[in-house]
Amino acid sequence: MNSPRRLLSTCLLLGFLFIGSAAVMAEETGKKDPKAGHSKTLLETLVEGGWVMFPIGIMSILTVYLATDGVMRTSIRKTAPPAFETEVKRLFQAGDYVGAYAFCRDNKSPLTNVLRVGISLLGDGKTMVEEGMVSEMHKESASFGTQINYLSVIGVVTPMIGLLGTVTGMIKAFSTLGSSGIGDPSSLSGAIGEVLVATASGLVIAIPAFGMFYFLRSRSTSAMHHIQDVINQLFRKMPYDVLAGVHISGEEIYANVPNWVSYEEPAAEESAAEPAAA
């Protein structure tokens, strides 16, 4: 849990440093002789996009963070570590389901989380085991999807932010044109530059965000298929009849006999039947 937070903090820090340095460099460039001809640097071009470059910059940082975190979370080494898989297979072959449950409980991963639920329900029969593991797999898949879907949101929202910058830039351009006419082309070109840079920046962030969204969605599906294959291997020929009624997990059971059922009734009936038999 701490690793993703550190990664996000690092990305945010680098992003704000980048945006801050870009603003400082743009301010220093503006103090130079405006008549001196020079080609614009990337930072100067980004700053020319206006205020919308700040939310677009934040979206770019989130895209990098979500893409990096998603690649790490959906890897086979993270979802089903080979060492965990080997140890669980060994415990299953030895028939040590209590040890397998303890191992899955102490070593968290999507694979061991699903297996832990399945092992805890072995005493309740095949149907309960399968339903429990399917439910846990849906939960793990939803955990992947929550992070990945944010990339789709960024892919939709970022072009809209760029479009907002386009609209505000056009308003500024027409306002300049209406107040000073075409006698001041530099101010008019600056407003038009804001229009073009904002639109292009929104698209530059949205395209990779959508690409990573589809890539990570396919990657997470492959990871869940691998988990399903491992589960099918482990639970094949499972002796459910021998394990019937066994409570492996050691977790507290809350279900009990209804409180309206009395155990004294059979004893009372037997005492009443004895004189009649005599």
- Mean pLDDT check: name the lowest of 86-95, 110-119, 208-217, 248-257: 248-257
Instruction: Give 122's DSSP letter.
Output: G
Instruction: List pLDDT tens digits, range 107-122.
Output: 999 999 999 999 999 9
pLDDT at 20 over 60: no
Residue 189's identity, in one-letter code, is S
Which of 41-50, 55-64, 146-155 bottoms out in mean pLDDT, i.e. has the lowest? Answer: 41-50
Query: 168-209, pLDDT tens digit by residue?
Result: 777 776 776 666 555 555 555 656 666 777 788 888 899 999
Helices (H) and strands (E) in the chain, counts: 10, 0
φ, ψ at 169 (rounded to 5°): -65, -40
* pTM greater than 0.75 (yes/no): no
**pLDDT score recorded for residue 171:** 75
d(CA 102, CA 222): 27
pLDDT recorded at residue 29: 41
Are the CB atoms for 147 and 1 separated by under 8 Å?
Answer: no
Q: How much is the pLDDT for 199?
A: 82
Q: Which of the given ranges, 16-25, 69-78, 108-117, has the highest pLDDT on average?
A: 108-117
What per-residue confidence (pLDDT) applies to 100? 93
Find the largest Cα–Cα distance for the chain.
125
| Residue 111 amino acid letter | L
For residues 247 and 253, the answer to whether their CB atoms sit within 8 Å is yes
Give 22-54 pLDDT, tens digit per residue: 444 444 444 444 444 456 565 565 666 667 778
What are the residue boundaries of the structural domains of the chain, listed by start?
50-242
Q: Which of 74, 71, 68 is nearest to 9 (CA)?
A: 68
Running DSSP on this structure, what letter comes out for residue 109? S
Query: Which tokens hold the place of 265?
Result: 């009734």
Q: Give the model's confidence band at 224: pLDDT under 50 very low, under 70 low, under 90 confident, else very high.
A: very high
Which of the two residues, 255 and 134, has the higher pLDDT score? 134
Please tell me the predicted confidence (pLDDT) of residue 89. Answer: 94
Instruction: Identify the CA nearest to 123 among candidates 142, 143, 145, 101.
Output: 101
Q: Sorting pLDDT into bands at 50, 70 and 90, what band is 252?
A: confident
